[in-house]
Structure 1
């Protein structure tokens, strides 16, 4: 305000100077200048503007001007004449007939030296017309005169600004347009980012809400170009309308552009796209009515454009993944989807199934276990096949590359090795021809072949091409169903019979297979033994099902000798003068002469296991009759008492303690076992007979064998530890020889083919002392 007063004073002095210069001493009113009163802004927020040449005033609005000049009094009135822009007038020219406005009196309170304020309210005139100022005193007798026609004494009018809509409604429309702009932007990202492939996947395997949303969006999204044109056209239309309304509201194009840009960027782009990028499916489904509405509104423009795009660019194609991209997608999203590593490997293996050939997974021919077609199916051959661990075995004839049949191990289970059959006879009977396939066959093809049931093993052959003749086909390996499954699982499958954990790297595997080589021994011409296959079955049965013959009491080697000992293998033939082939005492012979193996109430200190044939059992006073057959055993109490007593089983890891406890119980028993049943042969029989004394000797031999093994380890390693069962000496004889060497005895113990009876007779002094300690009392048969 102080600055205004200072300029006002200077301007008054300047006007007085000009007034004195141009007044020529007359007493008429002379206006030398004017300026808008900028300290007061009118009700509409606009003020009078002075350009370089003239004043510009808003129509029909009170505008205040400060007049500077001479002769201004409280009776001075002002009026205006409307003239063309090229009209000129001089001071004191009359304007009585040219006035077009009413008279405006100066404000008495504003009169000062050479200045006064007047409030004007002028109507609008065209741009090519000006208002010229006319003045006089408020006296009707006086004439109106012009105040010159200088540019700075002219007035132009501009229209009063108006808005398209009421202000409150315009603000509401601007907010709605911002919301629609954001919705269009979000739908553009949310809907268009959902390609048809992904939408189909969600519709099939998403949760219930996702399936519902996908089904709503699918009809709109499948018309991709039409949807795209609708969204973009609607977005442009909304943004332009928003800018126009802001310009109309603010009255300034610059302000409108800046404000619309800021609003569209923040509320029309950033915020909605950030939300729709995460929840586009749900937002698109809930606003589907909005999309349908604008598709109809903009159809006149968007539909033709979409048809042109369809014709030029073609229909929209969804995203598809190659095998490599799908694998990488699974690897990248493994943590997010909670997939396990093994699941990932299986999927990768399945995806690579059509890319891998059988040559890549086959077992080379040099590493394949095969068997000659002319080989006999004796016990040795069966044992070798069993040790190999394979269920399907290629059979070759002559050369290993000439594979003609596949032999299944299950085909050999019911064969009798004593029939002298050959591999050829078995193969020709089952007629399992070898199946060939080429080395470039894909795994998916060979898997379908395996699934058809034709075979689970294929011989892989490779073609050797020649320029002058037909190619030769040479077998190079074997591929099985297990090889294909391992490739799918991306890991090695190791079953209980595999020799290697990895066929490619040939890593050996520890296998715990029973050593059946002992049963391969051929008996002498005059001795009576059972077949090797039957001996293996008897061994498995006794060592697992009969408590007294388990490894805690009888070692593996001793049990094998008991089974193969000729004196223990007996036959009984009905109607034959020689009723049984094994030596026996008179009492036992008399009993069996009546076809009786056991008779109720009569002593019988021996154990019998029926191998072949049938027997009749009569039990108790009621004489209940039953029939028994193979692998029925009788007379077990004749050998030992309840060996699973708590005093014995309390030390399961100390086999020697178990054996000693059993020996002590045998020493305290009566001499004979009297059965309460009768066993009669009804067919020819083959059975195993072990008497009480033989069983005692077997227990003694087991104890001594384990002591020898323990002492041998202690001597060699300096450790007081027990040798595991599978590391012990396979037989009784070798243990006795080692013990005899340790004591430097020169007496001969026994040959490697000696019997248990020989061991009893030819026992060294050291073993005799051990036996005397165990046999302090007579054996009894009260079991």
Structure 2
């Protein structure tokens, strides 16, 4: 047969088939390796190549079918031509074996490993141009592709695969976190932190970030009127809870902007203060932050009173507290915290009322947050008894030394991270 076709033509045809095999192999890898989210963004931005690739990937069974049909066809034809050439040079006995060995190595290097590796590294450079050939080829070979897919899909159903349509690329929260982490310099670090904080809002409740009850500053109507007016005039807060006798008996929330209405009068009464106070807004302590953020927006509120399951006041939370969970502290230097004091030896003296989440956030530690909310509570939980005096303990990688105890409360402790062994 080699006498019927010039050897030069056979070699040229064989080289063309090897190139076509490389095209089909790289197309398959490029199509399957392309970043679906970047592809979707390009398609929505009007990129024609991206739209074409999206159409092809919408039915991956048809795409893979046309690629493999073309790849197998050119590989088998290349094997036949290589055998004819080898028989011409080496005879009928050893020719086929030599052709198989040489063609296998050639296809492996030039039609499989090299083009597929390049396609895996630069999928868009392969997927976009190859889609211009694959789409019309799919239309041309559709009857054969349909027949192959019908048999293949029937076999897949035996294994419980009912749908072969693409598009099942929805991300879980953890997967989205990984993508944000791996964005590198494409997304500034501060923006990454904000995005991750938004994802964490569902896992944090108002109880985790609220101002605790003992730190809440409010107006007690049982106090002397002059003392109340002095408190209003000198307050650094824009909103103050108004209660009578006990903070559990909250009457309303006073915005100091409204206080000007009665402060300008010649005679001020407690009734006037109550009249200007707005009805209090109560929040269950287990409310997730992302829910409370929407509730603040819906209720047109900026501050709420946090209550437990019995209706007792646990503290208060503001819109600013939730926003700080997303964008970070609004203060100029978060390391100069009122409750966390860095020492020259690298340790930190931390007050017992400091919250675990705040400690972890400011110092980058990983103290457990699924139990007590404050350092005092965490230490007591691990000691399982109230210490009679200074004591030391270790929680994970953090070592703690109790410095001061007052009124059944651990008021301060020295803390430092245990150094990891290299």
Task: Using structure 2 for the length normalisation, give the TM-score.
Answer: 0.70
Name the residue aligned to 2:211. 363
Residue 274 of structure 2: which of 418, 424, 427 is its match? 427
Please report the RMSD computed on the Cα atoms of aligned residues, expressed in angstroms: 2.8
- Change in 2 beyond 3 A, CA 1:316/1:289: closer
Matches within 5 A, 1:43-192: 162-163=2-3, 165-192=5-32
Against the structure 1 CA distance between its residues 308 and 375, is the aligned structure 2 distance closer, same or farther, given a 3 Å change threshold?
farther
Query: What residue number does 1:353 align with?
Result: 201
Aligned-pair CA distance for 1:309? 4.7
Q: Is residue 492 of structure 1 aligned with residue 329 of structure 2?
A: yes
For residues 55 and 27 of structure 2, the distance between their equivalents in structure 1, rounded to whole angstroms, comes to 15
Q: In structure 2, the residue corresponding to 1:505 is in which secondary structure? A: coil
Aligned to 1:778: none
1:392-407 equivalences under 5 Å are 392-407=239-254
Q: Please state how far the C-alpha of 1:473 moved relative to its aligned partner.
A: 1.9
Distance in 1 separating the partners of 2:339 and 2:27: 56
**Quick one: distance in 1 between partners of 2:312 and 2:184?**
44
1:329 aligns with 2:179: yes
Give the Cα separation in 1 of the matches to 2:263 and 2:234: 19
**Is 1:415 aligned with 2:277?**
no
1:626-645 to 2 correspondences below 5 Å = none
- Secondary structure in 2 aligned to 1:406? strand
Residue 719 of structure 1 aligns with which residue? Answer: none
> For residues 338 and 258 of structure 2, what CA distance do their matches in structure 1 show?
26
Corresponding position of 1:59 = none
Q: Is the 8 A contact 1:369 1:388 kept in 2?
A: no
Q: Which has the higher contact order (CA 8 A, sep 6+)?
A: 2
Look up the SS of the partner of 1:434 in the other structure.
coil
Alpha-carbon distance change, 213 to 279 in structure 1, aligned in 2, over 3 angstroms: farther
Q: Does 1:272 align with 2:115?
A: yes
Q: Is the 8 A contact 1:494 1:501 kept in 2?
A: no
- Answer yes or no: is the 8 Å Cα contact 1:376–1:422 preserved in 2: no
Summarize the Cα distance change of 1:434–1:309 in structure 2 as closer, same or farther, 3 Å threshold.
farther
Report whether the alignment pairs 1:193 with 2:33: yes
From 188, 213, 216, the counterpart of 2:52: 216
Whether the 8 Å CA contact 2:251–2:274 is kept in 1: the answer is: no
Partner of 1:391: 238
**Between Structure 1 and Structure 2, how many residues are aligned?**
328
Cα offset for 1:318?
A: 3.4
Q: Work out which of the residue numbers 454, 465, 483 in structure 1 matches 2:300.
A: 454
Shift of the 383–304 alpha-carbon distance from structure 1 to 2, 3 Å rule, reads farther
With the length of structure 1 as denominator, give the TM-score of the two structures. Answer: 0.39
Structure 1 position 283 matched with structure 2 position 123: no
Cα distance in 2 for partners of 1:423, 1:501 equals: 34
Any conservation in 2 of the 1:437–1:459 contact (CA below 8 Å)?
yes
Q: Does 1:203 align with 2:11?
A: no
Q: CA deviation at 1:299?
A: 2.8
- Structure number having the greater helix percentage: 2
Distance in 2 separating the partners of 1:268 and 1:386? 82
User: Distance in 2 between the 1:290 and 1:165 partners?
Assistant: 29
Contact kept in structure 2, 1:405 and 1:432, CA below 8 Å: yes
Q: Secondary structure at the match of 1:460?
A: strand
Question: Would you say the 8 A contact 1:403–1:434 is kept in 2?
Answer: yes
Q: State the distance in 1 between where 2:269 and 2:44 align.
A: 59
Deviations 1:403-442 (A, max 9, x none): 12001111123433673423442232x3510011211111
Mark the structure with the bigger radius of gyration. Answer: 1
Q: Evaluate the alpha carbon distance shift between residue 235 and residue 394 of structure 1 in structure 2; reply closer, same or farther with a 3 A threshold.
A: same
- Gaps of at least 5 residues in structure 1 are 1-160, 464-471, 508-783
**Deviations 1:519-552, CA, capped at 9 Å, x for gaps:** xxxxxxxxxxxxxxxxxxxxxxxxxxxxxxxxxx
Where do 1:323-722 residues align within 5 Å?
323-335=173-185, 337=186, 339-375=187-223, 378=226, 380-416=227-263, 419-428=266-275, 430-452=276-298, 454-463=300-309, 472-489=310-327, 491-494=328-331, 505=354
Q: Contact 2:34–2:127 (CA<8 Å) still a contact in 1?
A: no
Q: 2: distance between equivalents of 1:500 and 1:317?
A: 48
1:301 Cα offset (Å): 3.0
Shift of residue 487, structure 1, vs aligned partner: 0.9
Tell me the residue number matched to 1:257: 100
Q: Given the alignment of the two structures, is residue 306 of structure 1 paired with residue 138 of structure 2, yes or no?
A: no
From the superposition, tell whether residues 226 and 238 of structure 1 become closer, same or farther in structure 2 (CA, over 3 Å).
same
| Segment drifting more, 317-326 vs 402-411 | 317-326
Q: Which moved more, 1:301-310 or 1:433-442?
A: 301-310
Task: Specify the alignment match of 1:140 in structure 2.
Answer: none
Relative to structure 1, the CA distance from residue 220 to residue 361 in structure 2 (aligned partners, 3 Å threshold; closer, same or farther) is same
- Which residue does the alignment assign to 1:712? none
Superposition deviation, residue 185 in structure 1: 0.5
Change in 2 beyond 3 A, CA 1:225/1:502: farther
Alpha-carbon offset, residue 494 of structure 1: 3.3
